[in-house]
């Protein structure tokens, strides 16, 4: 008998093992009186270090008004959870990884299905943290590698630094993105990709569960460092066969070079 392995129970087993685990990296928020706190769970850390990408068709006037109300709230209450009305079976939404303080993000190329896409991000001013949004501009897109760099006119005070050393089979990994219950997983293997359009990419295969909307999510190690952006789910078809997900990462020197080039032109 054969069944898909990426089931509700696979998600539950992953959550039971990883969901309560904290990420060993500090988080700075104005609500903490500008001090750093290491007590954030993995889901909360990921919420504060991920962006959401949606097509403008999903951001109706009512939703934008709610975001403006949140931005103008004098109480300064931190609310980590938020949602976006998504049509079932729709396209043009996913996640992204902030990599600079001035609004550059990495994501999967297939997330950019619409020209009028926006990013939503939990930004901060000197007083509080709130959800802000802005249209995105594509800086670089490689469909073959399923990798892209985008820019939004938005402050991104909490961004991710790259992991430099190689992952091992003991490495615990997490993924940001949409606000479903976050699960974790383990690193399985690297798959080197042929050089694509003058840049080098690597696939990172993990045991992380994924749902629709997770594409482009930052893949983060336990120290809060970025290892890639989620691209695809690889479904198992045999009972007890674990689901696999694949992230993609461009050579970090190439990412930095393309961002510097874009800054100089804009």
Q: Along the chain (266 residues), what's the average pLDDT of each consecutive run of 10 residues?
A: 38 50 80 74 82 80 71 54 46 86 95 86 83 92 94 94 94 74 79 82 87 84 93 56 81 95 94
pLDDT of 38 reads 76
* CA 166 to each of CA 108, 116, 262: distance values in angstroms, whole numbers, following the listed order: 21, 37, 29
**pLDDT at residue 233 in the model:** 64
Residue 89 neighbours by CB distance under 10 Å: 6
Q: Which residues contact 230 (CB under 8 A, 6 or more apart)?
A: 95, 108, 175, 177, 208, 210, 214, 215, 216, 217, 219, 245, 246, 247
With tokens 């501009």, the residue in question is 137
**CATH fold of the domain at 25-159+257-265:** Thrombin, subunit H (2.40.10)
- CB count in 10 Å sphere of residue 15: 16
42-64 pLDDT, tens digit each: 777 888 899 988 877 777 777 77
pLDDT at position 36 is 76
Q: Are 123 and 183 in contact (CB under 8 A)?
A: no
DSSP 29-78: -GGGTT-EE---BHHHHHHHT-EEEEEGGG--HHHHHHHHHHHT-TT---
Token pair recorded at residue 100 = 């600079």
Where do the structural domains in the chain lie, given as residue ranges? 25-159+257-265, 161-253
Class of domain 161-253: mainly beta
**SS3 category, 172:** strand
The yes-or-no answer to whether 25-159+257-265 and 161-253 have a common fold is yes
Let me know: does 41 contact 20? Beta carbons within 8 Å: yes
Asked if 130 and 123 touch (Cβ cutoff 8 Å), the reply is yes
**Nearest CA among 140, 142, 92 for reference residue 113:** 92
What pLDDT score was predicted for residue 3?
31
Q: What are phi and psi of 48, to 5 degrees?
A: -85, -5
pTM metric for this prediction: 0.84
């Amino acid at each position: 008998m054969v069944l898909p392995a990426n089931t509700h129970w696979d998600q539950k087993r992953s959550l039971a093992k990883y969901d309560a685990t904290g990420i060993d990296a500090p988080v700075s928020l104005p609500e903490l009186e500008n001090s750093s706190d290491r007590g954030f769970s993995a889901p909360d850390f990921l919420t504060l270090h991920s962006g959401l990408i949606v097509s403008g068709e999903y951001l109706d006037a009512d939703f934008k008004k709610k975001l403006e109300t949140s931005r103008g709230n004098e109480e300064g209450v931190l609310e980590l959870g938020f949602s976006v009305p998504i049509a079932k079976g729709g396209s043009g939404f996913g996640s992204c990884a902030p990599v600079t303080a001035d609004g550059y993000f990495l994501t999967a190329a297939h997330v950019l299905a619409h020209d009028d896409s926006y990013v939503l991000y939990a930004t901060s001013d000197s007083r509080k943290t709130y959800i802000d949004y802005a249209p995105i501009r594509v800086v670089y897109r490689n469909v073959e590698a399923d990798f892209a760099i985008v820019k939004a006119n938005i402050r991104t005070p909490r961004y991710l630094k790259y992991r430099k050393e190689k992952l091992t089979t003991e490495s615990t990994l997490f993924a940001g993105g949409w606000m479903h219950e976050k699960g974790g997983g383990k690193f399985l293997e690297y798959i080197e990709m042929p050089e694509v359009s003058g840049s080098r990419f690597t696939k990172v295969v993990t045991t992380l569960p994924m749902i629709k909307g997770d594409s482009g999510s930052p893949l983060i190690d336990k120290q809060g460092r970025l290892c890639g952006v989620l691209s695809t789910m690889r479904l198992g078809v045999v009972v007890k066969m674990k689901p696999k997900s694949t992230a993609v990462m461009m050579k970090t020197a190439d990412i930095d070079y393309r961002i510097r080039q874009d800054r100089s032109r804009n």
